Amino acid sequence: MGERTQLFINVTDENNEKLLGTVIHYQWGIKTKMLLDALHIATNLPMWLYDVTNEQEKEKYRDLDYVLTNCVGLHNPKKARLLRSEIFKLVDDNHEAMNISETNDTFVDYLNKLLINYPENQRQKLLLEPRIGNDIECLEYEILDAYNATYKDFKDQCDNNDGFMIMDVKYNNQSDLDKDSFGSQNNLEKIRFGFILSDDGNPTKPVTLEEYAKLPINNLSDKFINSYKGLLQSLDIGFLSIDEVKSKLEL
């Protein structure tokens, strides 16, 4: 139900190593809703991610971190967990408009409970073999899609009839990242937005902000578009070019 849109958030470090790939699914993300949420997230990305020194907490996430590292392929699972948590704190208060029914902390605990049932030597198999039960299906969808969505597969998470938005984020201070810090906003090398039209749920045509905003379902005014672009420019938030999006999507 609803006018379904998705915001794909892709975060890398200065070496283009993936830190996080996640998708926010909107049931009613049309008009200004998703655009303003993206701006809110972009301007409130975490300035600091604390090192997890508590042994009890390390043990709590041992199963999930194993899968994120060895099965999903993220080089720093801790940062993926913490960054996703911070992002979803920014949108949890608006969950009525999205496919978010639980807080991120509940979500992580839910994943851990699923993983407890499977020994380490079976986890890689769980993510590769055909689905044969609800638990395996949950592992595939929930873990891969929540933490390592990519330009090639983010569209497969849920249905879409009113287009996609991309937030591409790159941090540039490797020394701070090594210290489990995202530093300050000065450590953000780039934040860029992109927009894609969909056909039967598939991304088919990268478009400009103006084209996306002028879709009949959005019907946003020139005043809003110009104000939004001006605000992004003042915050050094740019746009992915049409050709860049095509290349990333392999269209």
**Domain interval for residue 157:** 5-249
Across the chain, mean pLDDT equals 80
CB atoms within 10 A of CB 232: 21
The string of DSSP letters for 97-138 reads GBT--S-HHHHHHHHHHHHHTS-HHHHHHHHHSPP-SHHHHH
Global confidence as pTM: 0.84
Span 62-112, pLDDT tens digits = 878 888 888 788 988 888 988 898 898 888 655 444 444 345 667 777 777
Instruction: Give the total number of structural domains in the chain.
Output: 1
Q: Is-contact 198 162, C-beta < 8 A?
A: yes
Compute the C-alpha angle 47/9/69, nearest 5°: 80
Alpha helices in the chain (DSSP H): 33-42, 55-60, 62-67, 77-91, 104-116, 120-128, 134-138, 145-147, 174-178, 209-213, 222-234, 242-249
Estimate to the nearest angstrom the gap between the alpha carbon of 216 and the chain centroid: 26
pLDDT of residue 121: 60
Q: Which of 85-94, 98-107, 156-165, 240-249 has the lowest mean pLDDT?
A: 98-107
Share of the chain above pLDDT 70, in %: 73
Q: Is-contact 4 160, C-beta < 8 A?
A: yes
Split at pLDDT 50, 70, 90, the class of 2 is: low
pLDDT of residue 40: 94
Q: Which of 83-87, 129-133, 202-206 has the lowest mean pLDDT?
A: 129-133
Split at pLDDT 50, 70, 90, the class of 175 is: very low
pLDDT of residue 105: 63
Q: Which residues contact 36 (CB under 8 A, 6 or more apart)?
A: none
What one-letter code names the amino acid at 165?
M
Rg of the chain over all Cα atoms, to the nearest angstrom: 18
Span 13-50, pLDDT tens digits = 888 999 999 999 888 889 999 999 999 999 998 766 55
